[in-house]
Structure 1
Amino acid sequence: MKDSDPDSPAPGDVWFRGDAGEVRVHTTDGTQTLGGSSTSTADSTQVSFDVTEPFEDDNWTATFGDGWDYGLAANADIRDVAGRDGNQLQATVPGGENRGIYTIHNHAARTGQAPTSCYHSFALRFEPGFTDNITDDGKLPGFAGRDGTDEGAGGSPANGTGWSARMGWDDPSDHGPGIAVDWYIYHMDVSGSYGEHDYWGRLLEEDVWHDFEQYIDLGTPGENDGVLRGWIDGKLEYERTDLRFRDSGGNDVQWSWWDLYHGGGNTPSGNITVQFDDLGIVRGGMP
């Protein structure tokens, strides 16, 4: 079992990536994931999460609300959405505005210690009309370490202390029809004041429930060995292992940041709405 790909594999070499839950083979066309092996452990009934939130009722705010609790009353509600059992969390950015919801689960405040790696699993659906109304990029849930600093979001670059890595969507004009899922990352090697958009390479449709998984490992302070991964419906769609998030220890994965934001500078032409369901969080690694 390996936690990284071999440096110089030969065609035909096969190995198991334990951190990604995949069997990989190196071919003359490069490294490939063997069919059927890219399903992560999130679907297993044996997964033990440190935090679970089913979004069944208004008590979901007890899982969050550790700061940045914007829009929870005005732009979020619990309802039964077709395609999932029970209830779900619906969040909206009103037309002409940028902010939908901002709230965090503060691992450091709740446990006394922040992990250096973290995993999220949740279901997500984009409401019909979403693609008609988006006019810019946007932000969705992810991770951050920003306690005691303004670095790492809002146009304040990651200069060695604060950082963030949120999922989102890229500008709709950049990739063609569909919702272009990406990471929006404030890491130390970004040029300019704002974060980097890194496209996952997959366009999604509205009105479809997808199972998302996110994983971050901050790596060694000052080194380019931080890891960020993303799965959709059990398939690894994104992997990066060269990120430099911070210059020294501290500001670990302090926040699971539950976010819905449009922009950029532009606002949506009408309401944009998403639904979330069945959140699971693992502090300190993969399930």
Structure 2
Amino acid sequence: MAEKLEIQSVSKHYSIGQNRLDVLSNININVESGHFLSIVGPSGCGKSTLLRLIVGLDDQYDGSILLNGTRIGGTSLARGIVFQDHRLLPWLTLEGNIGLSLENSGWSRQDRALAVESHIELVGLTGFEKNYPHQLSGGMAQRAAIARALVGKPEILLLDEPLGALDALTRLRLQDELLRIWRAQATTMILVTHDVDEAIFLSNEILVMSAKPGRIASRIAVDLDYPRDRASHEFADLKRRVLSDMDFSSNRSEAA
């Protein structure tokens, strides 16, 4: 399978007065088309910063980020993003929020309407088209955010702790939904999460990062068949390995 996303020697720093804060250091990742990659690591290791660079919200960095061989510059329908906060506009209905993503798509009105309808169905919200955000539960609002990010048919969907604010039961249900959507759409997904179980349940591969500055500590293939059994010995063994790598990377960062 061809590699679509290439992150080459990417480093990022911020200048704070006379001081320099290094956030990312020499990040190199190739992500195959249709892959599900999760990124875990301690707070402050640059996970969310890396997503911002990939989506094109920040172009002040060293190195290169290429999609299909072309350097990413600015935001694009080719890359969708979902945050922990759904960020739905309160004055728009569900279908209005999702359709807003297509305003500058150049698509016809009919094509936009069909895309909105099909993606509302994809995330299981048919019947709630005219509801406003305050009339949706937290889980429903996050489904709407996922639909909004997918409606433009992006090649990559970036997920920045999208389930982190949900209660435990809703989070488990949304993990199942996210897995179903990924398998139905075959969209490349990159998930930032602090939940190791979530990363193992969803991903083909897990990237463990260390902090100060953010570096790749390890890459771990998740060679478990779907659907995955959280109670299995294989799942538990993999969780121990990821946690061990996270602990090692955290201790190394503190010692730096």
TM-score computed with the length of structure 1 as normaliser: 0.29
Higher-helix-fraction structure: 2
Higher-strand-fraction structure: 1
